[in-house]
Structure 1
Amino acid sequence: MSDERARRIGENVRATRRARGVSLDALAGLVGRSKGWLSKIENGRARLERRSDIAALAEALQVSADHLLGGPAPEVRFERRRYNLVPLQRVLMDASPTDPLDVHARPVDSLRADLTDADTALRRADYDTVLRLLPGVIGELCVHAATGAEPARSEALKLLVLACGSDGTCTLRHLGETNLAFISGERAQQAADLLGDPIWRGAAAYGRAHARSSVNKPRPLMTAPKVADEVERHIGDDPFAHQVHGMLRLSAALAREIEGDHGGAADQAREAARLAAPLGDDPNAFELFGVANVGVWRTSLAVEAGEPGQALRYAEQVDPRALASDNRRAALRIEKARAHAMLGRDADAVRELRQAERLSPAQTHSNALTRELVADMLRRTGGRDLRGLAWRMNLI
C-alpha cells in the first residue's frame, strides 16, 4: 500500500523496532511475549487484538501508541472533507470560559435547546448537524461563563462541560481528530474547575479520559480509579451524580484491564453494574449510563481480557433497543466482531462489522482495532462483503 497511514499495526511495529535498533528477542522480552508471537504480529500472520499489548509495545519502543495505530483510512479522510471542522476548531482554540470571543450570546435556554439537538444528532451519527451547531453553542456559552450573572453563569458552565467534554470529544474522536478532541476535553475541564463542583469535575474528567485512544494509556484515563473514588464521596441522591460515578467506574475498569489487572477490572465493572441496576436505561442519562451500556462495556472488557466466549455472553444480554445511540449500538457490534474473530468465526465477524458500519460509518472506519481485524481476515479469507468493507477502509 502506498499510503503509510494504511499500513497494518504489525508493519508499524516492525518499522519502529528496526528504526530503534531493537531485536525481535529484545522487544518480545520487554513486553513479556515470545519471539514467535512478535514475529507473527510483524509479518501479518497474527493480529494484535488487545489494547494492553499495543500499549506495552508502544511503551517498550518509546513511541506514542498513535504512531503504531496509524491514521484513519484515506477513504475516511476523503469522506470527512464534506464536514466543515474549521468553525469548531476556531472556537475551541480561540475561546475559553474565561476569555470568550466577542460575539453576541443568545439566552442560555436557547443554547441548551441547540445542545440537545446536537446531542440527538450525535446519537444518529449525524456529524453534519453536530458540527453546525456546536461551534455557536460553545462560543456563546463561553460568553455567559465569563460575563454572566448567576444562575445563568453556572448553568452555562455545566452546559460547556457537556458540549465540550461529551459531544465535542466524542464527535472529534470518531472523525479521527484526536488533537482537537483533547483540546475540547481541556475546555470542559476548565469549565468544571470554574464551577467548583466535584460531580461536574468528574463529568469533565470522563471526557478527558476518552479524548485519546486508550492504548496510549492517557493519564486522564489511567487516573480514573482515583477520580471515581473522589466522586463517590459526593454523589448523595442526585441521579446525575450516580451516572457520572458509574461511567468513571467503567473507565477505571478499562484502565485496569489495559494494565493487565484483570481482577481489578472485573471489580470495577461489577461495581458499575451494581450502580446501573436500580437506574435502568434512561435515554437522557449522562453518557447513557445504564444496564445496557454497562453490558457493552463488559463485552469490550472481556474481549480485552482474551475471553471471547464471555464477551459474547455479555453481548447477548444487551438489548440494543435500550441503547439510545447508534454509536453505542455500533460499539457493541464491533466488540462482538472482535470476539467472533477470536473464535475463528470470520463470517460472523464480518456480519457484525457491516452492521456497525451501517450504524456509524466514520466510527467503524476510524477504529484502528477494527481496521486490523478486517486486514487480518482479508489475508486468510475472502468474500464480497469482506472485500467491500476492506475497500471502504482503503485496505485494498
Structure 2
Amino acid sequence: MDDGHEIGRRLREIRSWRQLSIRAVAELSGLSWGYLAKIERGEKPVTKRSVLDALARSLRVSPTELTGQPYPPSDPPSSDAHAAVAGVETALAEYELGTDPEVTPRPWPELVAALRHLNEVVRARADYAEQGTIVPGLLAELHATYVRDPRRRREALVGLLHAYHAAAVLTRNQGVRGLPLLAVRLAQTVAEELGDPAWLGVTAWMRGHVCGHLTRRLAYQLSVRAADELRPHLAESNAAQVYGMLQLNAALACAAQGRAEETRAHLAEAEDVAARLPEHRENFGYLYFGPDNVGVWRVSLATELGEGPKVAELARGVRPEAIPAAARQAMFYSDLGRALVAERATREEGIRALVKAESIAPQRVRHNVFVRETVANLLTTARRDAGGRELRGLAWRMGVAPTG
C-alpha cells in the first residue's frame, strides 16, 4: 500500500530531475507556488484534469508520469486485469486487417453471441479482467472471418470495431501507455474500410477520448471536426448519437482547460440532440447516448469546472441507473462524491457517493487517479467520525494506506 499522495511525490521527484524550483514550476503551470508546495507535501489533492495537465506541461512529461499509473494491483480482479493486458498487447501487435491470422474461427452465430456477451455483459459491468481474456481471441477470429468469408465481411468489420473499442477501454483504464492509441488507430483502419460515417465518427470519438489526457487541444479539434463531418447525417439516429457524444468529448476538453462558456455551449448542443432522438432506437456503438447520459456528463463537467456542492443540484433528476453500463454509473457517483467532499457540510454525503461508485464498478473506480487523490486527502483531513469507517475501508480496498 501507498499513502495515496502519488502525484505529490512524483511532482517533487520530476521537478528535481528537471532541476526546476517550485517557483519555476508554478510560473510555467500558472499555479501558485504555495499550492504546489501543498501538493508536494500531500496536503492538497489533485482532483481536476486542468491541474494535472498544467503540471505535466510544465514538467514536459505525460500525465501518467505524475499519476504513477498503472497502479500495483491491490486485489485479485485488479491483478487479473493487469495480467490480461499482455494478451491484448500481443493481439494488437499481431493482427492486421486483410492478413489471415491462421486460426479457426467459431461459426458466425457463436461469434455474434460472443460479441453480445462482451458488449452487453462484460463491458456493461466494467469487468476488465474478463475483457482482457475475451478480446485477444475475438480479434483473431474476426480477422480470420473477414479474410475467409466475404459474405460476413461487413459484419466482421463491425465486430472488430467493438473488439478494438473494448481493448482501448481496458488498456486506458488500466493506465497503460501507448496501447489505447494503438487500438484506436487499428479501429480507424477498420472504420475506413467499412466507410460508414457514423462508425468513422465513433473512432474519432475513441481517439479523442483516449488522447485527451495527453493533449486537450487535439482532443477538442478531433471532436469538433468529426462532429462537423456528421452534420449532414443528423437525420439518421446512429449518426446523431455519435454527434452527441462528440459534443460531450469537446465539452470535457474545454472544461479541462477551464473554458466554462464553451463547455456549456457543447453540453447544450448535446442536450438538444438527445432531446430530439426517437424513443425507440439502436444503442449505436454501445455509446448509451441519450438524455440520461447527458445528465451524467453534466455532473462530471460541473465537477471538473470546480462547482463544488452546486453539483448536487445538477444531479437531482439524473438517472444513472437507466444506463446499463456500470462504468458510466460509477463515474456519476464518483464525480458527485468528489464535488461534495469539497465542503465540510456535504463531506459525509460525498464519501457515501464514492463508496457507492466503488461498489458499482470496483475495477474502474479503484484505478481512477482523481478518486485516489480525493480519498488520500480525506484520510489526512477528515475527522474519523466523518465517514471514518467507510472511508478507511474504501482506502484499504484501493491500496491507499490510511494515515493518522
SS of residue matched to 1:308: coil
Letter in 1 for 2:91: V
Letter in 2 for 1:24: I
Partner of 1:241: 239
SS of residue matched to 1:177: coil
In 2 relative to 1, CA 205–362 (structure 1 residues): closer, same or farther, beyond 3 Å?
same
Question: Displacement of 1:22 after TM fit?
Answer: 1.4
* 1:201-212 superposed matches below 5 A: 201-211=200-210
Partner of 1:275: 273
- Report the Cα distance in structure 1 between the residues aligned to 2:167 and 2:55, rounded to whole angstroms: 30
- Report the Cα distance in structure 1 between the residues aligned to 2:330 and 2:123, rounded to whole angstroms: 13
Q: Is the 8 A contact 2:217 2:253 kept in 1?
A: no
In 2 relative to 1, CA 394–386 (structure 1 residues): closer, same or farther, beyond 3 Å?
same
2:223 is aligned with 1:225: yes
Q: Is the 8 A contact 2:4 2:372 kept in 1?
A: no
Question: Displacement of 1:375 after TM fit?
Answer: 0.4
2:161 is aligned with 1:156: no
Partner of 2:78: 80
In 2 relative to 1, CA 354–28 (structure 1 residues): closer, same or farther, beyond 3 Å?
same
Partner of 2:105: 105
Letter in 2 for 1:390: A
In 2 relative to 1, CA 39–376 (structure 1 residues): closer, same or farther, beyond 3 Å?
same
Partner of 2:176: 177
SS of residue matched to 2:210: coil
TM-score of the two chains, using structure 1 as the length reference: 0.91
Specify which of 26, 29, 34 is matched with residue 28 of structure 1: 26
Number of residue-to-residue matches in the alignment: 391
In 2 relative to 1, CA 282–292 (structure 1 residues): closer, same or farther, beyond 3 Å?
farther
Question: Displacement of 1:332 after TM fit?
Answer: 0.4
Letter in 1 for 2:300: S
Partner of 2:136: 135
Question: Displacement of 1:78 after TM fit?
Answer: 5.3
Letter in 2 for 1:225: S
Aligned identity (percent) is 34
For structure 1, which runs of at least 5 residues remain unmatched after alignment?
Answer: none
- Report the Cα distance in structure 1 between the residues aligned to 2:245 and 2:234, rounded to whole angstroms: 16
Partner of 2:262: 264
Partner of 1:395: 400
Q: Deviations over 1:133-189 (max 9, x none)?
A: 322222121123344425x21221122112212x22223333333433332222211
SS of residue matched to 2:233: coil
* 1:181-200 superposed matches below 5 A: 181-200=180-199
Question: Displacement of 1:108 after TM fit?
Answer: 4.2
Letter in 1 for 2:173: H
Structure 1 stretches (4+) deviating beyond 4 angstroms?
Answer: 280-283
Greater shift in the superposed pair: 360-369 or 11-20 = 11-20
In 2 relative to 1, CA 282–16 (structure 1 residues): closer, same or farther, beyond 3 Å?
farther
- Report the Cα distance in structure 1 between the residues aligned to 2:223 and 2:363, rounded to whole angstroms: 30
Partner of 1:60: 58
- Report the Cα distance in structure 2 between the residues aligned to 1:256 and 1:227, rounded to whole angstroms: 15
SS of residue matched to 1:123: coil
Question: Displacement of 1:359 after TM fit?
Answer: 0.6
Partner of 1:17: 15
Letter in 1 for 2:375: V
Q: Is the 8 A contact 1:123 1:325 kept in 2?
A: yes
Question: Displacement of 1:225 after TM fit?
Answer: 3.3
* 1:288-367 superposed matches below 5 A: 288-344=288-344, 345-367=346-368
SS of residue matched to 1:125: coil
- Report the Cα distance in structure 1 between the residues aligned to 2:118 and 2:140, rounded to whole angstroms: 15
Q: Deviations over 1:278-333 (max 9, x none)?
A: 33596834311111111111111111111123422222221123111111111101
Q: Is the 8 A contact 2:358 2:365 kept in 1?
A: yes
TM-score of the two chains, using structure 2 as the length reference: 0.89
Question: Displacement of 1:340 after TM fit?
Answer: 0.5
Question: Displacement of 1:119 after TM fit?
Answer: 1.0
